[in-house]
Amino acid sequence: MTPGALRDAFQQHRPAGCEAAEWQQRCELAAAYRLFALLGWHELIYNHLTVRVPGTPHFLINPFGLMYREVKAGNLVKIDLDGRKVDDSPWPVNPAGFIVHSAVHAARPDAHCVVHTHTTAGQVVSCQRDGLLPLSFNSTFYTGRVAYHDFEGITLEREECERLAADLGDRNVMILRNHGLLVCGPSVGDAFAEHYMLQRACEVQVAAQATGAALVQPRSEIAQLAAEQYERTARRGDQNTLLWDAMLRWAWDLDPGFAT
């Protein structure tokens, strides 16, 4: 199925009163939740992926209490930057979710999608003093491009928002020390690709360290070159779009029910 045909299929399930652009974002975000569940990047009912509703100050978040595999376009909750529900929904919203995500959405108008996970590999690297190391192919994509935020407990305090946003700055990737990973991007597809590459980098780092063998790091100028190449071909090129279109097809083939 072509990308255009798939997007047309999404619109066939759009309920009355929902703008086409919002429904597209709902379907893509729901697909991302299903894919994160499939890839094991979930924490049961916890953690969040959010996306901004086009042309509004609102964003969509998962219903608190549902597993990622249960998320659908129609049950995503629309909230404002204070975590208040904009539309009627029988589901609550996890306070820790909108505090982390609203901090990024409010500070970064370009960050339309924000992802936060507690994957094992991500948490292991977040506990290491030196953070992400330029060891593997994937990790070199982040040379000089990773932000860090110190652990301040469960993210329930609004005062942390300003510090979290300041630590992120203009970067799209942040390691929350002793906590997990946070990525953002101009679209759901960009954020998915960012998380995939960062997660792979963490997995390889943890596995390489576990071997006990002496590790080889590429020369700094080569690592920087790889980061610039990835910036050009993926973040500012067409590779993220190609990847996300393929992932949407996979999600649809597995269960098109996410788009209802």
Quick count: other Cβ atoms within 10 Å of Cβ 148? 14
pLDDT in tens, 199-222: 999 999 999 999 999 999 999 999
CATH number at residue 166: 3.40.225.10
Radius of gyration of the chain (CA): 18
pLDDT at 154: 87
Is 104 part of a structural domain of the chain? yes
Quick count: other Cβ atoms within 10 Å of Cβ 131? 16
Is 220 part of a structural domain of the chain? yes
C-alpha 148/C-alpha 184 separation (Å) is 14
C-alpha 51/C-alpha 233 separation (Å) is 23
Is 4 part of a structural domain of the chain? no
Mean pLDDT to the nearest integer, 123-135: 97
pLDDT at 7: 93
Taking the mean position of all CA atoms in its chain, how far away is CA 52?
13
Is 53 part of a structural domain of the chain? yes
Is 12 part of a structural domain of the chain? no
Is 199 part of a structural domain of the chain? yes
User: Residue 177's domain spans which residues?
Assistant: 20-259
| Structural domains counted in the chain | 1
What is the band of 159 on the pLDDT scale with cuts at 50, 70, 90?
Answer: confident
pLDDT at 203: 98
Of 22-26, 135-139, 152-156, least confident by mean pLDDT is 152-156
Is 44 part of a structural domain of the chain? yes
- Percent of the chain clearing pLDDT 70 (strictly above): 100
SS3 53: coil
Is 11 part of a structural domain of the chain? no
Q: What is the pTM of this model?
A: 0.96
Sheet with 48-52, strands from edge to edge, namely 77-79, 59-61, 48-52, 113-117, 180-185, 173-176, 146-149
pLDDT at 156: 75
